Amino acid sequence: MCLSPHVAPPRPSCAFLEWRAPRRDGRQRVVGWTCDCRPIVYELREAAGQGFIRRYVQAGTGWQVSDTFRMRPSEAYKLWQALLSGLAR
């Protein structure tokens, strides 16, 4: 039984997010995450007063990691909800 949320299937009119190489600057706090039972796992993170989403894609024996651009935390929470509901991918 999974305790964390799963991302809904993308809707036909979903927005495509731009994924970038992760920044490794300073402390980051994970404030939300999806279940790790799927090959793609997402985390909602905050760092230096900004929010963003980190994506982990299972690749062989490791993970490919990428981030969205940084934004105000309130915008990141909206984007997180869009991702979980299938309105973004």
Taking the C-alpha atoms of residue 48 and residue 22, their distance in angstroms, rounded to an integer, is: 15
Amino acid at 68: T
Q: What is the pTM of this model?
A: 0.94
| One-character DSSP codes across 65-76 | EEEPPPB-HHHH
The residues near 64 (Cβ < 8 Å, ≥ 6 apart) are 56, 57
Taking the C-alpha atoms of residue 50 and residue 61, their distance in angstroms, rounded to an integer, is: 31
The residues of the chain scoring below 70 in pLDDT are none
Say what the pLDDT of residue 2 is.
Answer: 87
**Helix, strand, coil content of the chain in percent (nearest 5):** 15, 35, 50
